[in-house]
Chains A and B, each alone.
Chain A
């Protein structure tokens, strides 16, 4: 079942279009920056963007910061929302269950597929943006005074190229985990309705609500429990030394959301009448 789901994901044109769009946005931004050389001032605009003008090897971090708030979760919500509801509306849900594929197994396969999709997407963005960044901006040291081969960290001290690479790997993994909360919500909604669009929209509504509340000071009391609260904690990977506190909390919150919504999805799907 797992293999089949992956084949279906990879043979689907939509998967590759979504990934192409995800990789396209940072490339577009890089093109503008490279041509105009007008970077945002430090402290303004998207994270890291001011730093990359002088050193392209940090561009993957900037690219991930661009797709993280909206583009990436939208694609995760679409894939997750389509997982069960898409089978239902295509009429294939009943034929898969009749093979028979156990309902729990199907749900697990859908989740694994979603994780694979997220990883492919994040890694693709990181790799293409690295290529784009190095081509467009070169790898000159960020600050000639600090010395060669060193990238300035957010904390102001230098990071060697191997340190940057390692921290980008951490970032990729952290962002992939951060998407699982939204993915689990989308999969849960996907077992509730037969409309994949409805499920995706539901997950996005949840996401937007969370984003709004995170930015709202009046909602400070619930803020630590929102799924998007620690999404930007990966920036702490680029501090020296790494600040682990928010990162750990972020991972913990995602684990709770995934556990709760997958349990709900399983409880709903295992006892549901399949009438599609």
Chain B
């Protein structure tokens, strides 16, 4: 068994003068559900492309399933399923024909090349992603969600040990997102390592056990989700008798929003004992729980705004002059106006 599914050391990629990825050190272990988060343009997709040997690193090392990439790319890729920057297919062919072409390309997959083995693989993959009953219409007539499912089916064709998925739920409705999550959970339980790349916090929060965060080409954080979502040491109380609760807890209330109170916890105190105290005093409590940091808070702390935000010369927050001069309000300025800490929230 390999010690790691993905390891990168000092992974760097420059496109001309722009450094897209800067010294990234990833470590994805077997069986992980790893989520790589980051604002748009933070370099996630470039990292994925380098892992898969599509883009060549300027410097640094990559090990995929214990083999060095790009030197041994062709040896490891048969065990990797991937969805990179959206699904793709030949629009004039039906979904099955597309999968058949992909299945026949490359080295012989496990199960062999016989017509029956081939059909079984394709039908199994389509069944898994919920396209088992799809008819013979060409892919250009597919909906966005169907294309996404077809892309997933292509990634699952070779029963890979590692799945590298870039925005796998793009274009799916809530029902579809949940189906994909359940599918990934099932595959992960059967031993497949899942490396997920997303800017959707909820998706990562619900599925992943380990999280990496990228910001402007750097990996700024890599940790277990449970660690990141550690309790803040405060307890949230929702009570119709908030006034009296404030009086009772005397100075421990750090914030109040109507009926909701944030109470600084004391050593050895959990919501149960605090609840007992409040009820003893005759207060009604409709909700009480430990406050945890959300992934959103963590993300906003460690990352800046995405590179798709380009502020004009007047900066953010709209101190616009009363008369907008179209000649002066053009797209100059670059990202300098919006960078720095103004996207941060207090913990």
Contact = CB atoms under 8 A, between A and B. Distances in A.
Instruction: Specify whether A and B are partners.
Output: yes
Interface string B141-160: 00000000000001000000
A274 B84 CA distance: 11
A100 B74 contact: yes
A96 interface: yes
B105 interface: yes
Contacts of A271: 56
B104 A94 contact: no
A35 B107 CA distance: 57
Interface of B: 49, 52-56, 73-74, 77-78, 80, 82, 84-93, 101-102, 104-107, 154
Contacts of A216: none
A14 to B, nearest CB: 9
Nearest to A99: B106
A82 to B, nearest CB: 12
B89 A92 contact: yes
A3 B92 contact: no
A92 B82 CA distance: 13
Contacts of A94: 49, 52, 54, 84-85, 88
B55 A274 contact: yes
A98 B101 contact: no
Given A97-B53, A271-B56, A3 B90 contact: no
Contacts of B89: 90, 92
B54 A102 contact: no
A59 to B, nearest CB: 35
A273 B88 CA distance: 18
A273 B74 contact: no
A12 interface: yes
Contacts of A162: none
A42 interface: no
Nearest to B87: A91
A7 interface: yes
A96 B89 CA distance: 11
A100 B54 contact: no
A99 B92 contact: no
A13 B91 CA distance: 12
Contacts of B80: 98
A98 B52 contact: yes
Contact of A96 (B55, B91, B105): B105
Interface string A94-113: 11111111100000000000
